[in-house]
């Protein structure tokens, strides 16, 4: 029919608007779906999400889906250009959020070493890129001799340098988080060096964007707005002024909103929307003046104040949509531009050689330079190698440089595909290589933990205490201080266990907050966000204990682990191995309420399961502290009066022997009085039972305790005869109020105890429930 023919003609010429919108929505949904599917598989291999996003774009691009669906019938060049045009404004928000995530105060903590590592890796990469740049250009351009122009070769080499020297800090942060190196010195150095490299790369790209040179098909540069050096310099100053004005307006607006919402935790959705519209408007205005809108948005995000409710709201509200929707679409659009079927005259072997050559040059420069500088700074070879592979991750500045080369017609399609594939390969190698080296390093420093029975009193006791917050610091450190005895050395490590929240897991770089605020009111009312507030509270509690509560200051080495409760036991085990601890103490999953009852507060069931996994998997003695306001030791006290009355309960088994061994170490402290209460069956019951091998070990152990500690008067010893669990419970209840600390073995399972223990605990329903909950 004539009408159908008209409709077909409209579709062919791209006038069918609804059809185009349906295709765009379908492409976006497909990119998000494929990105999620790819990442669910690749994350098991330690790969960051950016690789999944690019691969999803390759699938919907001309390489695969584009061959089945001809988007030119709807007026679209290809899937990449269609997605890129559709998410143009979202890309501005994405670049702003990347700048907001890049907290430069993180760089200050290891400024000198981070800058040296960044310069070392980039310097070697720079030299290799200068040497290999002409060869790379000639290898990927078959008509090199016919269309050769020196200015194009120089531009190609400059962009090749940017690609090889760049480091993608957002990708690196995710790899460091998965390797659990966020709070380690290696992880902090890697993030700081990545920030420095990213800033340098983006600055260079910004200077190129001001007045880019566009090349024609014949290889000659097209006429530009300014040709002389003086005009280019004036243009650069003009662009710098425009960007500074835009950044200044955004910063002033952010501070104004913070003052208006002073004392509140978040800003309203209308103020948030207004700020985002202002950022987009300023970026577009800068683009109208001749600069890049995306780069302007990034600089605005870099300059926005991190204090106050506005930054907190921006991070909390934008984290999920940016990382789960905007970021896959932005990098998916890059992958959708690649067409692996059109690689010119190259065969598969030649293409593989080009990718291998580019990957080898990039890896040799980054890894080699970082290792050289790391060894010069006194790092171990493994640590320097881990930093080298981490700093070789790509996927951010290099992609921007490749896009700039595409717009300037510096490289053809083949060169762009080769560089993107090489970037993917470099990033793909970084995660598994770093993880393998870290595992090998931890395996090389494995230790054999000595149980407390084997540890002599004069030997150093290494204790790892774990806390979930500042409230448990005082009791944990008090117990650790009591463990040092009189003169025996003790090494105390405090591991702050921070639960990784989904809404905040991308704000890892905001670990440190600025303490030099403009006014006291802002400092008091600034509700901290990210994890910095929790960490600072624990640090303040440790400082207060060491300054005011401890009788003799004990150095406390503080560590932090940020992970989910499901994997937090692995952090504890790693902390045990790093500290080479003989004893780890974890808090009970219940806390004491104001009325004295023990209740589960935040994550009670998850913390209970965490304690169970630590008990099962830790390679040293584990103690669970059920805190009921354990008093600290004042700096001045009477030596003749012991503040802490400790009772060690001994029934039978290896766990009880370990508990008594720990109590005897506590007895060496001048503020502690220890009493060992041994529960035994009556004589007639024992005669009817045959002594097992474990009971023989109990007798031998208790004989040694009586000889070494009871006879000299250091420990008091009592025997209590019980026939069943009810009598045992009554005997224990009679001691409540007379002591400040019970030390009890867990018993059961590998802790053993035999028939005698089973008889003495039969019927203790209430106590068994608490024991099982541990």
Hey, what domains does the chain have and what are their CATH numbers? 2-227+320-439 (1.20.1530), 460-636 (3.40.50.620), 641-774 (3.40.50)
Nearest to 745 by CA among 652, 682, 608: 652
Most confident of the following: 112-126, 258-272, 568-582: 112-126
Task: Yes or no: say if 743 and 659 are a contact pair by the CB < 8 Å rule.
Answer: yes
Residue 553 pLDDT > 90: no
What is d(CA 515, CA 739) in angstroms, rounded to the nearest whole number? Answer: 43
Question: Residue 274's pLDDT is what?
Answer: 92
Better-scored residue on pLDDT, 210 or 452: 452
Strands 715-721 and 621-625: unpaired
Query: Which alpha helices (DSSP H) does 211-268 contain, by range?
Result: 229-260
Q: Which residues pair with 562 in a beta bridge?
A: 498
What is d(CA 753, CA 728) in angstroms, rounded to the nearest whole number? Answer: 15
pLDDT in tens, 23-74: 788 888 999 999 989 888 887 776 777 778 888 888 888 878 877 776 666 6
Q: Report residue 94 CA to chain centroid gap.
A: 20
What is the model's pTM? 0.60
What is the Cα Rg of the chain in Å?
33
Buried b (16+ CB within 10 A) or exposed e, 15-44: ebeebbeebbeebbebbbebbeebbeebbe
Nearest to 620 by CA among 568, 671, 662: 662
Angle CA 583–588–594, to nearest 5: 135
Token readout for 85 is 């045009």
Task: Yes or no: say if 725 and 636 are a contact pair by the CB < 8 Å rule.
Answer: no
Token readout for 160 is 């090749």
What value does the mean pLDDT take over residues 433-453?
67
Q: Which of 240-254, 430-444, 586-600, 656-670 comes out lowest in average pLDDT?
A: 430-444
Question: Residue 442's pLDDT is what?
Answer: 61
pLDDT in tens, 688-743: 666 777 778 888 888 898 898 888 888 999 888 888 888 888 888 888 777 888 88
Q: Name the average pLDDT for the chain.
A: 77
Nearest to 167 by CA among 119, 209, 210, 132: 119
| pLDDT band with cut points at 50, 70 and 90 for residue 145 | very low
What is d(CA 165, CA 765) in angstroms, rounded to the nearest whole number? Answer: 66
Residues 6+ apart with CB under 8 A from 682: 721, 723
Residue 607 pLDDT > 80: yes
| Element holding 498 (H helix, E strand) | strand 490-499
| pLDDT band with cut points at 50, 70 and 90 for residue 753 | low
Q: Which residues pair with 741 in a beta bridge?
A: 646
**Sign of CA pseudo-dihedral 479, 484, 485, 486:** negative
Half-sphere exposure of 770 (CA within 13 A, CB side): 13
The dihedrals phi and psi of 494, each to the nearest 5 degrees, come to -110, 120
Q: Which residues pair with 463 in a beta bridge?
A: 492, 583
Q: Report residue 387 CA to chain centroid gap.
A: 15
Question: Residue 107's pLDDT is what?
Answer: 63
Residue 296: count of CB within 10 angstroms of its CB: 30
| Element holding 156 (H helix, E strand) | helix 150-165
| pLDDT band with cut points at 50, 70 and 90 for residue 769 | very low
Token readout for 348 is 């598969």
What is d(CA 719, CA 651) in angstroms, rounded to the nearest whole number? Answer: 10
The dihedrals phi and psi of 256, each to the nearest 5 degrees, come to -65, -45
Token readout for 183 is 């709070």
What is d(CA 723, CA 48) in angstroms, rounded to the nearest whole number? Answer: 61
What is d(CA 323, CA 503) in angstroms, rounded to the nearest whole number? Answer: 11
Query: Which alpha helices (DSSP H) does 618-653 contain, by range?
Result: none
| pLDDT band with cut points at 50, 70 and 90 for residue 245 | very high
Question: Residue 153's pLDDT is what?
Answer: 78
pLDDT in tens, 484-542: 766 667 888 898 888 876 544 444 444 444 444 344 444 444 444 455 667 778 888 88
In order of 113, 479, 489, 632, the CA distances from 551 in angstroms are 37, 13, 15, 9
Question: Residue 512's pLDDT is what?
Answer: 43
Residue 574 pLDDT > 90: no
Q: Report residue 367 CA to chain centroid gap.
A: 22
Token readout for 552 is 């003799």
């Amino acid at each position: 029919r004539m009408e159908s023919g008209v409709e077909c003609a409209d579709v062919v010429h791209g006038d069918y608007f609804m059809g185009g919108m349906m295709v765009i929505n379908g492409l976006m949904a497909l990119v998000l779906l494929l990105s999620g599917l790819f990442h669910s598989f690749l994350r098991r291999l330690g790969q960051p999400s950016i690789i999944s996003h690019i691969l999803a774009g390759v699938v919907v691009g001309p390489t695969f889906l584009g061959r089945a669906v001809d988007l030119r019938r709807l007026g679209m060049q290809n899937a990449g250009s269609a997605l890129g045009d559709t998410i143009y404004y979202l890309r501005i928000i994405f670049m702003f959020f990347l700048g907001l995530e890049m907290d430069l105060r993180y760089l200050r903590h290891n400024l000198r070493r981070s800058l040296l590592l960044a310069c070392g890796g980039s310097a070697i990469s720079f030299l290799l890129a200068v040497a290999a740049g002409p060869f790379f250009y000639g290898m990927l351009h078959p008509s090199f001799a016919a269309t050769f122009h020196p200015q194009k070769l120089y531009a190609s080499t400059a962009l090749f340098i940017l690609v090889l020297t760049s480091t993608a800090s957002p990708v690196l942060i995710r790899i460091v988080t998965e390797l659990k190196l966020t709070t380690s010195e290696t992880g902090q150095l890697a993030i700081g060096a990545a920030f420095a490299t990213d800033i340098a790369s983006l600055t260079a790209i910004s200077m190129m964007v001001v007045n880019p040179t566009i090349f024609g098909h014949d290889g000659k540069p097209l006429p530009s707005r300014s040709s002389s050096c003086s005009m280019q310099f004036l243009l650069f100053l003009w662009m710098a002024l425009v960007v500074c004005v835009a950044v200044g307006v955004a910063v002033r607006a952010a501070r104004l909103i913070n003052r208006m919402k002073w004392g509140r935790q978040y800003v309203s959705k209308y103020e948030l929307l207004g700020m985002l519209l202002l950022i987009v408007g300023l970026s577009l205005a800068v683009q109208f003046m001749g600069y890049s809108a995306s780069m302007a948005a990034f600089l605005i995000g870099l300059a926005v104040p991190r204090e106050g409710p506005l930054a907190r709201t921006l991070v909390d509200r934008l984290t999920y949509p940016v990382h789960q929707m905007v970021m896959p679409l932005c990098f998916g659009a890059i992958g959708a531009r690649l067409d692996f079927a059109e690689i010119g005259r190259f065969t598969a072997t030649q293409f593989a050689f080009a990718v291998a050559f580019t990957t080898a040059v990039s890896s040799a420069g980054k890894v080699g330079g970082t290792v050289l500088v790391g060894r010069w700074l006194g790092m171990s070879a493994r640590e320097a190698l881990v930093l080298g592979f981490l700093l070789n991750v790509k996927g951010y500045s290099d992609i921007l440089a490749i896009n700039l080369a595409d717009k300037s017609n510096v490289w053809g399609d083949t060169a762009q595909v080769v560089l993107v594939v090489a970037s993917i390969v470099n990033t793909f190698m970084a995660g598994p290589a770093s993880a393998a080296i870290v595992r090998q390093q931890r395996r090389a420093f494995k230790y054999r933990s000595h149980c407390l029975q084997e540890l002599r009193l004069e030997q150093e006791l290494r204790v790892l205490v774990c806390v979930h917050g500042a409230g448990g610091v005082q009791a944990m450190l008090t117990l650790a201080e009591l463990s040092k005895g009189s003169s025996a050395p003790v090494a105390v490590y405090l591991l702050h266990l921070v639960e990784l929240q989904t809404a905040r897991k991308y704000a890892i770089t905001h670990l440190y907050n600025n303490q030099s605020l403009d006014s006291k009111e802002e400092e008091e009312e600034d509700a901290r966000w990210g994890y910095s507030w929790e960490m600072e509270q624990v640090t303040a509690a440790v400082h207060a204990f060491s300054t005011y509560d401890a009788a003799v200051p004990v150095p406390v080495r503080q560590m932090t682990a940020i992970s989910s409760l499901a994997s937090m036991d692995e952090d504890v085990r790693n902390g045990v191995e790093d500290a080479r601890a003989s004893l780890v103490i974890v808090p009970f999953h219940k806390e004491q309420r104001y009325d004295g009852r023990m209740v589960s507060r935040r994550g009670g069931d998850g913390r209970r399961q965490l304690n169970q996994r630590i008990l099962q998997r830790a390679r040293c003695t584990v103690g669970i502290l059920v805190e009921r306001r354990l008093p600290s030791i004042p700096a001045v006290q009477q030596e003749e009066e012991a503040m802490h009355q400790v009772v060690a309960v001994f029934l039978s088994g290896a766990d009880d022997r370990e508990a008594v061994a720990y109590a005897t170490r506590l007895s060496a402290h001048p503020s502690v009085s220890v009493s060992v209460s041994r529960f035994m069956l009556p004589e007639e019951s024992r005669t009817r039972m045959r002594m097992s091998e474990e009971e023989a070990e109990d007798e031998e152990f208790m004989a040694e305790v009586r000889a070494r500690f009871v006879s000299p008067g250091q420990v008091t010893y009592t025997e209590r005869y019980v026939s069943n669990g009810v009598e045992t419970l009554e005997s224990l209840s009679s001691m409540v109020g007379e002591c400040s600390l019970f030390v009890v073995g867990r018993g059961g399972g590998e802790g053993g105890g035999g028939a005698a223990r089973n008889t003495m605990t039969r019927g203790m329903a209430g106590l068994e429930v608490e024991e099982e909950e541990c």
